[in-house]
């Protein structure tokens, strides 16, 4: 199955000049969604992943089933104020301003090998913040996995020494 054929391209969204890659068309197709999850998890089946960190919110959609397929736990990386227990927080730059993500401090430890999952690698700021948080909590980042990578935005540069895998590149 060619997954790029089930991802809808929407020109000029959310603003002129942007070609938005809409994953909802893949999600509503059970065979395509299953293929996506299988391809992501197959890439890391021999990496001894103990935890998958999914980045809010679309990283949850892919990260949770990948974690199940790998026999790993799932850890949500959330926007501030959404997690109930004590958190570690990392701020990152946006085009205009900053944002941040948080992970429960007790979610990861030195024994964990972590796969960070999100739907999209664009500029890499959110993924870089997740990498920093995982390392701050003492865990090892095995790799990052993305459904889509927008290569022209050079997001891999923001990931530093972290390996990354993308199913589709545009």
Q: 11-32 pLDDT, tens per residue?
A: 999 999 999 999 999 999 999 9
Catalytic site residue from 47, 58, 113, 136: 58
Structure confidence by residue, pLDDT tens digits, 104-148 = 999 999 999 999 999 999 999 999 999 999 999 999 999 999 999
Residue 138: inside a domain: yes
CATH, residue 66? 3.40.50.2020
Please provide residue 52's backbone torsions phi and psi, each rounded to the nearest 5 degrees: -115, 125
**By residue range, what is the domain housing residue 77?**
47-169
Residue 164: inside a domain: yes
Work out the pLDDT band at 99, boundaries 50, 70, 90.
very high
Q: How far apart are CA 103 and CA 113, in angstroms?
A: 15
Query: What is the number of structural domains in the chain?
Result: 1
How many Cα atoms sit within 13 Å of 107 on the Cβ side? 27
Residue 118: inside a domain: yes
Determine which of 73-77, 91-95, 149-153 has the lowest per-residue pLDDT on average.
91-95
Residue 40: inside a domain: no
Residue 1: inside a domain: no
Residue 81: inside a domain: yes
Cβ count near 56 (within 10 Å): 15
Told to judge if 58 belongs to the known catalytic residues of this protein, a careful annotator would answer yes
What is the pLDDT at residue 157?
97
């Amino acid at each position: 199955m060619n997954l790029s054929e089930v991802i809808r391209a929407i020109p000029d969204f959310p603003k002129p000049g942007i070609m938005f890659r809409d994953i909802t068309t893949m999600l509503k197709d059970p065979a395509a969604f299953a293929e996506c999850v299988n391809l992501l998890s197959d890439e890391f089946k021999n990496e001894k992943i103990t935890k998958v960190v999914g980045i809010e919110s679309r990283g949850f959609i892919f990260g949770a089933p990948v974690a199940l397929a790998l026999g790993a736990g799932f850890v949500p990386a959330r926007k501030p104020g959404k997690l109930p227990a004590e958190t570690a927080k990392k701020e990152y730059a946006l085009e205009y301003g900053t944002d941040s993500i948080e992970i429960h401090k007790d979610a990861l430890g030195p024994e964990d090998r972590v796969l960070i999952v999100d739907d999209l690698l664009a500029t890499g700021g959110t993924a870089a913040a997740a990498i920093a948080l995982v390392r701050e909590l003492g865990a090892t980042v095995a790799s990052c996995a993305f459904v889509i990578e927008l290569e022209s935005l050079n997001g891999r540069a923001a990931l530093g020494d972290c390996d990354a895998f993308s199913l589709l590149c545009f």
